[in-house]
Amino acid sequence: MQHTQLCSVGIDIGTSTTQLIFSRLGVENTAGYFSIPRAEIVEKKVFYRSPIMDTPLVDDRHIDGAALRRLIEQTYADAGVVPAQVQTGAVVITGETARRENARTVLEQISSLAGDFVVSTAGPDLESILAGQGSSAQQYSRDHNTVVANLDIGGGTTNIAVFDGGSVIACGCLDIGGRQVSLTADGKIRAVCNGARQIAQALQLPVIPGQPADPDALTLLCSKMNELLEQLLGLMPPSDLLERLATPGSTPFSLPAHRPIRFLSFSGGVADCILRPPPDPFTYHDIGVLLGNEIRRGRLFGRFQILSAAETIGATVVGAGTYTTRLSGSTIAYDSGLFPLKNIPVLRLSAEQESALSAGNDRVLREQAAWFMQQNDCPLFLLALEGPADPTYTQLDTLASAIAAGLSEALPEGQPLLVLSHRDIAKALGQLMRQKAGSRPVVAIDGIEIGSGQFIDLGMPVLNGMAVPAIVKTLIFES
């Protein structure tokens, strides 16, 4: 049986802390001898975990990029890894850190340092999912065919992901976290972030930078934060404040409609404060311990069965290092020399548009492509389709002709035609497109679910070219 290993890194640059992990992903062809080959990741093993390090900042508005780079370079050296050895993984910038003015520039620099196919990503939705995977909430949901919600409560934000039978059915993010209010060593308020500021104003609490910290006021602030989490999970009617604290760029959260949430797990730095609070409430010079205390005393522990997370503060970095990589199907077609491809925006057609394209109407693709390229200011994109079920040769030939014509007219000369089908038709579709694309290279892969507004990275093919590693992500920065 064919087997290979990929070296993967996860780098989580959070509001308060930065962490790295290195892992090995085992990839095999799991199909039988008389079956269509199927490449799968069959093993995920962490072999180095960094200490938890403070995220270096120049000030409240800027990340210290040089200091962060030195931290990461030293961690690579400690792990005995050089960037050229790293074949996949993700650098994830999370929470309030993603809103620093230089976040995008720093993230791009760190991504290039980390390895050729280590992707850069920012955005609360992906962070929610990665934390739910790293905490083991997704695995518990899959193993027990039940509905599990994971609350990843970090320094600046709380990310929620809900899994039903292992599938993500909802996610969201609130500006609630342990570093929403930070303190100086002498007990004064150093900084107040957006979420805490709005709550303090609503409750008329004296939470003002430069003033002495009032433990009673901060406890009331954290009690309200917990109440908002209870509103989010349907234990109390939602308030206007809940809507105002939704993190920019996150998906509006909605409770599952079919089966209720039964289990709840906590990850992130505040999770340790919920389960194992230190005696000094200001141990970390923030409100994390107070917030953990209020959550432990609140309704969440009475309403849901609480699961022990496999990872707490390390959930996102474990998710980034071991769960971001997917493998394409094995019925694929591509021209060599194109990979890796990074930060490719995705255009997904609606069902109606895809139906028209399948009937040979390439105009719908030309119009959508022109609009999409203006919106994204990009010279290249990947077209994502559901793909027809059990198509005939004639149907596939018609679709291939329409795609080749529409993309060739929309894309600048020399750019490749990139297509992803959810259904396993890519090999035949790509071969037909190649006949109609002239000199343009073609990449047609399948077996990956993706939507518009996301980005995809495609790595070097593995298992003698059988499959292509892919990472689907978001790139959202808020100022």
Distance between CA atoms of residues 113 and 93, nearest Å: 15
Q: Which residues contact 108 (CB under 8 A, 6 or more apart)?
A: 120
Which residue type, as a one-letter code, is found at position 113?
L
Contact 218, 206 (CB under 8 A): no
Q: How far is CA 174 from the centre of its chain?
A: 16
Distance between CA atoms of residues 316 and 156, nearest Å: 14
What tokens appear for 362 in the block? 């390439």
Contact 263, 305 (CB under 8 A): yes
- What is the β-pairing status of strands 57-59 and 189-192? unpaired
Q: Per-residue confidence of the chain (479 residues) as pLDDT tens digits?
A: 567 888 888 888 888 889 998 988 887 766 655 455 566 677 888 899 999 998 998 887 888 989 999 999 999 999 999 988 887 777 888 777 777 778 878 877 787 777 665 666 656 787 888 889 889 999 999 999 999 999 999 999 999 999 999 888 899 999 999 999 999 999 999 999 999 999 999 999 999 999 999 999 999 999 999 999 999 999 999 999 999 999 987 888 999 888 999 999 999 999 999 988 999 999 999 999 999 999 999 999 999 999 999 888 888 788 777 766 767 777 788 888 888 887 788 888 888 999 999 999 999 999 988 888 877 667 889 998 888 888 999 999 999 999 999 999 889 888 999 999 888 888 999 999 999 988 899 999 888 877 666 778 888 888 777 788 887 765 544 43
What tokens appear for 137 in the block? 């909430």
Predicted TM-score of the model (pTM): 0.75
Q: Which residues contact 217 (CB under 8 A, 6 or more apart)?
A: 200, 205, 206, 207
Q: How far is CA 361 from the centre of its chain?
A: 35
Sign of the dihedral through C-alpha 351, 459, 342, 161: positive
Which residue type, as a one-letter code, is found at position 200?
A
Contact 267, 315 (CB under 8 A): yes
